[in-house]
């Protein structure tokens, strides 16, 4: 199942690690972090593909990736588009970064699978976050004073006010007791829409 978590801004690192641990049930096999300046990225891993080498956050050159899900056609993508790329793993994780390096945000149109991910591009100084076409993998985020994202709402609530958006009650009941993206029941927390991506740069969407 796995989970991803990230925060950009001034945070206590131990509090961030504690918040990430709230999703440990999603990825009991391994937990790793990328911490640099004001950037914190975390991944709780359920090992499926390339157990030995597919560690995350995955770092390649100027790119750091946290990824939840599976790219079904990653082997096909390697054969068709990445023949000259020198892979260090057999994971679908590395294919995401390789395709992003070649095609930028247009890499999304090539992926078949269920996924949510965030790529921190240090050269461009932005965060590229995406969700699969059906929205099978979750991606929640808050962009108030600071950018925070996670596979579940609970870790975000450790840093964001839990004020409810009561104006959405009608939407909730008219949608079979469900908040359609981009809404959640919290004013300051959004859900990334399926088949969508966002870019966060200078704390702006």
The CATH number linked to 121 is: 3.60.20.10
Predicted pLDDT of residue 176 = 46
Query: Facing residues of 66 across strands?
Result: 118
pTM of the model: 0.91
Within a domain: residue 63? Answer: yes
Q: Say whether pLDDT at 127 is over 80.
A: yes
What's residue 167's pLDDT?
A: 63
How many domains, in total, are found in the chain?
A: 1
By annotation, the residues acting in catalysis are 2
Q: Does position 48 have pLDDT exceeding 70, yes or no?
A: no
Q: Is there a domain that residue 205 lies in?
A: no
The kind and range of the H/E element at 103 are helix 92-103
- Provide the pLDDT for residue 65: 98
Sheet containing 58-60: order of strands: 58-60, 63-71, 113-121, 126-131, 197-200
pLDDT for residue 49: 54
pLDDT bin (cut points 50, 70, 90) of residue 73 is: very high
Q: Which domain holds residue 188?
A: 3-200
3-state secondary structure of 8: strand
* pLDDT > 60? residue 8: yes
The more confident residue out of 89 and 48 is: 89
Band of residue 5 on the pLDDT scale cut at 50, 70, 90: very high
């Amino acid at each position: 199942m796995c989970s991803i978590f990230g925060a950009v801004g001034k945070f206590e690192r131990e509090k961030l690690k504690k918040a990430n641990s709230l999703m440990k049930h999603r990825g009991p096999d391994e937990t790793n972090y990328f911490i640099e300046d004001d950037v914190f990225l975390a991944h709780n891993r359920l090992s499926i593909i390339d157990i030995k080498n597919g560690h995350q956050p995955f770092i390649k050159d100027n790119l750091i990736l946290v990824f939840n899900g599976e790219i079904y056609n990653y082997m096909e993508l390697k054969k068709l588009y990445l023949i000259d790329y020198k892979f260090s793993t057999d994971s679908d994780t590395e294919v995401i970064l390789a395709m992003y390096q070649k095609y930028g945000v247009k890499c999304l149109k090539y992926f078949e699978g269920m996924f949510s991910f965030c790529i921190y591009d240090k050269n461009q100084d932005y965060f590229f976050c995406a969700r699969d076409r059906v929205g099978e993998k979750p991606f929640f985020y808050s962009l108030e004073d600071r950018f925070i994202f996670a596979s579940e709402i609970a870790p975000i609530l450790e840093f964001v006010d839990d004020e409810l958006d009561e104006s959405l009650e009608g939407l909730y009941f008219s949608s079979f007791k469900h908040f359609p993206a981009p809404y959640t029941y919290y004013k300051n927390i959004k859900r990334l829409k399926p088949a969508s991506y966002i870019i966060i740069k200078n704390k702006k969407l």
